Amino acid sequence: MPFSATLTFTDQALNGLNCGLDLGQKGWDWRSGSARFEQAIPSENVPETAALKIAFQLGATKAEYTRTIRFRNPDAKGRVSDVTNYRRLKIRAPAAANPIYQSQPVQLEGVSFEAMMLNEAQNFATVRGKRPSGKQPVAIHEGDIIDYEIVSAQPLCCEVVQMDVQEGPERIIPKMIRVINQGASLKGDLAVLSDEQFDQSVEVEKPENSDSAILEIEFESPVEVNGIDFHWNGGQRMIAVAIPQGRGWTPLVWDGFNSGTGHHPTFPAVKTDRLRIMLPCWKGKMTLEEVAPYFNSHQRELFVAGKK
Ligand SMILES: [Ca+2]
């Protein structure tokens, strides 16, 4: 039983154009746009738009509808590409698990769908209609309520072209943030570390011969926390987060986090009045733009030994 039958244009000029998903040699190539199309049809006969009849069968259910396809409205590169003919959907939905880098999975009707970001960064995400100033992307969290604009073009997955975050995890304002290394300090207004803006920063000042710093965050009282929105002056760094245990410190997570992709420290929920972030500062100036611990009630608890 075919999932998709042959697609048929009803415009007379396009008679004989094979436009099935399994494209023939003379088919309309939905990736390279007009290039193949022009091989098949003389350019003077190419209409501005044409109605495409789409029919498919799923099990015993048959469906048929008509879509208008545009052939003459080139993009910036002078092509009529599939981008011109995207089917667009605006929807408010929660982010599914692991929304980082290109992947912005969307939960629709309780089912997670993989969705790619057209841009490789999240640089065009906004928060409640506003875009944070500065260069850093907005970190998206599992369960964030987001107004998405999704397009469907590829057979593999849908794509996200816009995100406007309406609700995120509740951020916890620390009582104190400091660097505990001897001879090191934080220079600047610490209030900028939780202002959801990425344009102002706090400089990590440390002795010349030191290649790392330990940042300690202290809360007013023990709080439940399972992630930190953490933005610095760019790039990937191996960063560890730890909590006090007995006389020492137990790591919660250690990974190559990247301020430019939204990949930030998340870990199983813990209740603590202190956290430490171990930062490599091997060369150049390191500045912090956002250091905001949070508790995300939607975050899955991964890798918790003995937990069912
Ligand atoms: Ca900030």
Residue 183 Cα to ligand 1 middle (Å): 24
Quick one: pLDDT at residue 30? 47
| pLDDT score for 34 | 43
Domain count, the chain: 3
Question: Within 13 A of 188's CA, how many CA atoms are on the CB side?
Answer: 19
Beta pairing partners, 256? 238
Distance from the CA of 224 to the center of ligand 1, in angstroms?
Answer: 22
Task: Please indicate, yes or no, whether residues 189 and 279 belong to a single structural domain of this protein.
Answer: yes
Using the mean position of ligand 1's atoms as its centre, give its distance from the Cα of residue 1 in Å: 55
Tell whether 307 is covered by a domain: no
Residue 46 phi, psi dihedral angles, 5° rounding: -75, 120
Burial 23-34 (b: 16+ CB within 10 A, else e): eeeebbbbeebb
Scanning the structure block, which residue is given the tokens 């003379």?
A: 26
Q: Per the domain annotation, does 2 fall within a domain?
A: no
| Rounded distance between C-alpha atoms, residue 16 and residue 13, angstroms | 9
Return the number of other C-beta atoms located less than 10 Å from residue 175's C-beta. 11
Q: Do the domain assignments include residue 26?
A: yes
| Within-domain flag for 186 | yes
How far, in Å, is the centroid of ligand 1 from the Cα of 279?
A: 18
264 in the same domain as 196? yes
Lowest mean pLDDT among 15-24, 73-82, 117-126, 199-208: 15-24
Residue 12 reports pLDDT greater than 80: no
pLDDT at 253 over 90: yes
Per-residue pLDDT reduced to its tens digit, 149-192: 888 765 567 888 889 999 999 999 999 999 999 889 999 999 99
**Is residue 3 a contact partner of residue 31, using CB atoms and an 8 Å limit?**
no
H-run or E-run covering 255: strand 248-258
Residue 199 alpha carbon to ligand 1 centre in Å: 7
Distance, CA 137 to ligand 1 centroid (Å)?
A: 12
Mean pLDDT in residue range 58-63 = 72
Question: Where does a domain end: 136, 167, 198?
Answer: 167
- Cα of 153 vs centre of ligand 1, distance in Å, is 36
Strand pairing class (202-205; 286-295):
antiparallel
Cα-to-centroid distance, 165 and ligand 1 (Å): 17
In terms of domains, do 265 and 247 share one?
Answer: yes
301 Cα to the center of ligand 1, angstroms: 28
State the chain's mean pLDDT as an integer: 81
92 pLDDT band, cuts 50/70/90, is very high
Token pair of 139 as six digits: 């970190």
pLDDT exceeds cutoff 90 at 18 = no
User: Region 53-75: what's the mean pLDDT?
Assistant: 73
- Please determine, for residue 20, whether its predicted confidence score (pLDDT) is greater than 70: no
Instruction: Note down the domain range covering 140.
Output: 88-167
Rounded distance from Cα 84 to ligand 1 centre (Å): 37
253 C-alpha vs ligand 1 centroid, how far in Å? 23
Output the pLDDT for position 25.
Answer: 43
Beta bridge partners of 147: 92, 164
Over residues 79-100, the mean pLDDT reads 79
Amino acid code (one letter) for 247 = R
